[in-house]
Structure 1
Amino acid sequence: MRFPSKYLNDKVKGRASWFRLAVSLVAAGCLTTALTGCAKVDTTTPSAARANAATASPARFGTVDCREAKCIALTFDAGPSEHSARLLDILKEKKVPATFFLLGKRHIEKYPQLVKRMAAEGHEVASHTWDHKILTSLSEQQIREELLRPSEAIERLTGQRPVLMRPPQGRTDETVTSVCEKLGIAQVLWSVTAKDYTTNDSALITQRVLDQATRDGIILLHDIYPGTVPAVPGIIDALKERGYVFVTVPQLLAPGKPQPGKIYRP
């Protein structure tokens, strides 16, 4: 694949630039769904998870019943970062819960206090692997290592072991699913993406989310990019005006519970 020149000439340095390049090239090269890394996998919708539930489970943040309410889940990948504290301030002010899929290397390691704060303020803290390696290209043992390390780090900091993970670039397959099942982790994909790895235009990020939002939606954003966090207040206010209620991913599935190995996607 020939690299797009705009990425080769990117002046932005550091983690965000590398991450943006990697995700964008995959998006350009994959002509089928990017949500499953170009592979066909069985997924479960939030409504199906709720319908198949045998017993109710308590809400982790408030008392929302998504069988009745018009729910939507706000999720953030690849943090924590220098922008995460401001994001948590916004979520606290707006009384909105989120689900954070955290990276281990250079993120959980660098910002342990933010991880603790996320959990303490009622957000769902989950895994985005240790080093953002594409799981479908790894051996079973390597996949296990990529998933175990962030789970153990999060548990040490918060006292709770993650029950959710998001595979980097949404790429998963039967081997990844098998490892997740053994480790007691469910996989979470998404239905709304602002492609905030391609722009720092907060107004454009906001509009992309609003254009795609639907009931039971799972919104994918990244709090590592400078344009994303400033977009969040407008996204929240506009969706609330449309009657949406913000929930964590486990609340979206309730009274069902995340089942190890399953892949959830609206």
Structure 2
Amino acid sequence: MTKSESPGKKSVVLTFDDGPSRLLPKFLDVLKQENVPAIFFWQTRLLHSKRPWQRVLDEGHIIGSHTVKHRNLVELTQEEQYEDIKSSIAAIEQITGSNVRFFRPPYGQFNADTLEVTDRLNVTPVMWKIASMDWELKNDPEQLIANVAENLEDGAVILLHELPQTLEALPALIAAIKERGYGFKLL
């Protein structure tokens, strides 16, 4: 899935990979201030009970799986993929008490085995339509914003990461998206 279809107002989906990071509370502050929902795809090796996962859910966001350790799934057997994704989902569900419905493969890399595994585990793979390239733009928040704003289309899923440069650019990014007539929604 790279787009979300819905009639009416043009909207996009913000997604954040590679958390939960220490910056998560600050990301949540910006999203709350702007009244923007998001989906967080987490590596469960980073998830522990002291991360503000409850706040994520209480504020209407979604937590999805991004595997346990961010290994490239195409380098794993189907059984290894199954164990990794299943373990990640189980950890999120055990800590949060909520069902995991969405999964994003690390590096956007997947194969037929991955699709069989996600089908068996009843999670929807979510890719992206727009990559912010935030992981490469530590010193260029304007380019990060342009990468998204210049490629907007209705229903697009936007790839972001829980990185300092993304946090710095997030308020201006949200403003640029709104200025182009888009709202925000979840899948």
**Category of TM-score, reference length = shorter chain:** over 0.9
Question: Is the radius of gyration larger for structure 1 or structure 2?
Answer: 1
Q: Distance in 2 between matches of 1:104 and 1:211?
A: 33
1:211 aligns with 2:169: no
1:210 is aligned with what amino acid?
A
Give the distance between the partners of 2:96 and 2:10, measured in 1 at CA: 30
The one-letter code of the counterpart of 1:206 is I
Give how far 1:77 is off. 0.3
Q: Answer yes or no: is 1:222 the counterpart of 2:156.
A: no
Cα separation, 2, equivalents of 1:152 and 1:79: 17
Structure 1 counterpart of 2:83, from 142, 145, 148: 145
Deviations 1:82-102 (A, max 9, x none): 211100000001100000000
Alpha-carbon separation, structure 2, partners of 1:45 and 1:242: 18
Residue in 2 that maps onto 1:92: 32
**Counterparts in 2 of 1:87-236, with a 5 A limit?**
87-105=27-45, 107-109=46-48, 112-200=50-138, 201-223=140-162, 225-236=163-174
**Secondary structure, aligned partner of 1:228:** helix
Q: Tell me the distance in 1 between the aligned counterparts of 2:168 and 2:67.
A: 26
Given that residues 112 and 157 in structure 1 are in contact (C-alpha distance below 8 angstroms), is that contact kept between their aligned partners in structure 2?
A: no
Question: Does residue 72 of the first structure (1) align with residue 12 of the second (2)?
Answer: yes
Between the aligned residues of both structures, percent identity stands at: 33
Q: How far apart are 1:241 and its partner, in Å?
A: 1.9
**One-letter amino acid of the counterpart of residue 9, structure 2:** A
Mapped partners of 1:191, 1:112: distance in 2 = 32
- Counterpart code for 1:166: R
How many residue pairs are counted as aligned between the two chains? 186
Work out whether residues 76 and 220 of structure 1, in 8 Å CA contact, stay in contact via their aligned partners in 2. yes
- Local SS of the residue matching 1:197: helix
Q: What TM-score do the two structures reach when normalised by structure 1?
A: 0.67
SS at match of 1:227: helix
Quote how far apart the aligned CAs of 1:67 are: 1.1
- Unaligned ranges ≥5, structure 2: none
Distance, in Å, in 1 between the alignment partners of 2:18 and 2:53 is 12
TM-score, normalised by the number of residues in structure 2? 0.94
1:243 matched residue in structure 2: 181
Question: Structure 1 residues 96-105 or 201-210, which shifts more?
Answer: 201-210
Q: Distance in 1 between matches of 2:4 and 2:123?
A: 16
CA RMSD of aligned residues (A): 1.5
Superposed CA deviations along residues 27-52 of structure 1, whole A, max 9, x for unmatched, are xxxxxxxxxxxxxxxx67533xxxxx
Measured at CA, do residues 194 and 91 of structure 1 come closer, stay the same or move farther in structure 2, by a change above 3 Å? same
